[in-house]
Chains A and B, each alone.
Chain A
Amino acid sequence: MKHTLSPQRYLILLAVILSASFGDTLLSHGMKQVGPVSFHNLGLLLVALKNPWVIVGILLLIGFFASYLTALSWADLTFVLPSTSLSYVIVALLSKFWLHEDISIYRWLGILLIVGAVGFVANGPSLTEHPYPVGKTL
C-alpha cells in the first residue's frame, strides 16, 4: 500500500474540511437568529429555511457530502476520517473568533491532539490494495 494523493485530491480533502466546518458554523449562526425550536413549535424549522445563513449552511453541507463521497471513492475510510477531522479544529476557531465563544485550555489541548492525528495519518498511504473488489466481503 503505497498510494499517495495528487494535489487535486488534497484539494477535495480540503473541500471536505472547509465545507463541513463552515456549513456547521453558518447553521449554528442562523439557528441562533431563528431562536430555540421545540417539539411544540416545529413549524419554526420551516421559518429557519428562509434564513440566508441556514440556506448557505445547507448548501455547504450538501457540498460536504458530495466531496466526502468523492474522497471515499479513492481513499480508505480510515484515511479520510482522521484527515478530515481538522474540521473540528476549524469549527473551534470559527466559534472563538466569529461567534465569540470561549475556548478552554482543554479545547486547545483537544485541537492539538487532532492536528497531531492528521499529521500522523496524512503521511501514510491513502488506499489499501485489494486483489479483488472490497464489496464482495460485505
Chain B
Amino acid sequence: MTTVGPVETWATILTVAATAIAGDVLTAGAMRRIGDLDEIRAHSGLLGAIKAVTGSRMFLCGVLSMALSFFALLFTLSNVDVSLAAPASASLTFIGNAAAARIFLRENVDRRRWIAAALVCAGVALLSR
C-alpha cells in the first residue's frame, strides 16, 4: 500500500521518531526539574501535583511534541504500510531515546541500558511480523 518513494517513506518515519523522542526527553526533563511527584502529592495534595506538572513550560512542549508525533504517525500511516511504519518508528524511538537521554538528560546510559534498548528495538520489530 506504500504510495510514496523510499526517501519520503523514511523522511516521514524519521519525523515520527524525532518528534516522539523530543516529547519523551522534554517530558522526562520536566519531571526531573519538578521533582519527586510522590513527595509533592504528600505536601500539596493531588491538585498541587497536577498544578506543578501542568505549570511547567518544558512539560507542555513535551506534550506538544507528542501530539505532533501522533499526527505525523497518522500522516505516515496514510502513505506507508503499517507493518513498516509502526515497528520502524518505535524501534528508532527506542534507540534515539537512549542517545538523547545520554546527551540532554545526562543519564548514565551504560552497556546494560544500551543492550536493553537494542533488545526492545528488535523485539518490537519481531512483534509486528
Q: Interface readout for A96-110 with B: 1 if CB under 8 Å, 0 if not?
A: 000000001011011
Distance of A133 Cα from B128 Cα, bound (Å): 39
Q: Interface readout for B85-129 with A: 1 if CB under 8 Å, 0 if not?
A: 000000000100110011011111110110111011011111111
Asked if B32 and A134 sit within 8 Å, CB to CB, the answer is yes
Q: Is B30 an interface residue (CB 8 A)?
A: yes
Q: Is A45 an interface residue (CB 8 A)?
A: no
Q: Which residue of B lies closest to A106 (CB)?
A: B129
Task: Enumerate A105-134 residues with CB–CB distance to B below 8 Å.
Answer: 106-107, 109-114, 116-118, 120-121, 123-125, 128, 130, 133-134
Main secondary structure of the interface of A (DSSP, over half): helix
Q: Is A49 an interface residue (CB 8 A)?
A: no
Chain B count of residues within 8 A CB distance of the other chain: 44
Asked if B101 and A76 sit within 8 Å, CB to CB, the answer is yes
Q: Is A138 an interface residue (CB 8 A)?
A: yes
Asked if B119 and A116 sit within 8 Å, CB to CB, the answer is yes
Shortest A123–chain B CB gap in Å is 8
Known: A72-B28, A88-B127. A138 touches B104 (CB 8 A): yes
Chain A count of residues within 8 A CB distance of the other chain: 41
Shortest A110–chain B CB gap in Å is 3
Q: Which residue of A lies closest to B105 (CB)?
A: A134
Given contacts A76-B28, A106-B129, 5 further A-B contacts (CB under 8 A): A81-B24, A120-B115, A124-B110, A128-B106, A134-B33
Residues of A near any B CB (own CB < 8 A):
1, 8, 69-70, 72-74, 76-82, 85, 88, 92, 104, 106-107, 109-114, 116-118, 120-121, 123-125, 128, 130, 133-135, 137-138
